[in-house]
Amino acid sequence: MVDETRDLTGYRLVAAPMLYMLRPGAAERLTRFVEGGGTLVCTCYTGRVDEDDLCFLGGFPGPLREVLGIWAEETDGLYDSETNGIRMEDGATYACSTMCDLIHPETARTLGRYTADFYAGEPCVTMNPYGGGRAYYVATRPDAAFLDAFYGRLLDEAGVDRLLKESQAGVLAASRGERCS
């Protein structure tokens, strides 16, 4: 985990989940990271406000809209007992919960769609090629099976060595040292 003000040089994959508030320079650093060949993953509720908690004008995800290639129209908050689903291009399905952004791909390609409720068939996982890299948007809170499959593929594509080749329930692996890449 690194602070959003930190230099991202040397990283190949950056996950920025629910990056609701963007401090000055954060969007520019993330954009340069993707332009330079990095892989960025953002999730629902990203790019809503600036450092003063003022909403970005011109649509969400604010200054990350171009690099992510999507426009988020609104967010549907689900009750604790509610879930939805994600159907990926390859036919794999996963559960999701908590929040579901209603998004419109502008330059991004749709990789997954919601399976239920009034937004069944609407995009919920996208990928936008940008500069030399790629920016992904996951418009909901997916289950652990999705996270394992999705991040496993991205880590392999980015050439990032994993501490554990397969996730194991209840096991957390960490590396202590200067920096993992």
**Residue 47 in contact with residue 22, Cβ under 8 Å?**
yes
**Residue 127 in contact with residue 109, Cβ under 8 Å?**
yes
CA distance 14 to 16: 6
CA distance 14 to 10: 11
Furthest CA-CA distance within the chain = 47
CA atoms within 13 A on the CB side of 124: 28
Assign 68 to helix, strand or coil: helix
CA distance 54 to 24: 13
Lowest mean pLDDT among 5-19, 63-77, 92-106, 112-126: 5-19
User: What are the pLDDT digits (tens) for 110-166?
Assistant: 999 999 999 999 999 999 999 999 999 999 999 999 999 999 999 999 988 877 766
User: What are the pLDDT digits (tens) for 14-71?
Assistant: 999 999 999 999 999 999 999 999 999 999 999 999 999 999 998 899 999 999 999 9
Amino acid 181: pLDDT: 46
Report field, pTM of the whole predicted structure over 0.85: yes
Please give the average per-residue pLDDT across 172-180, as a whole number: 64
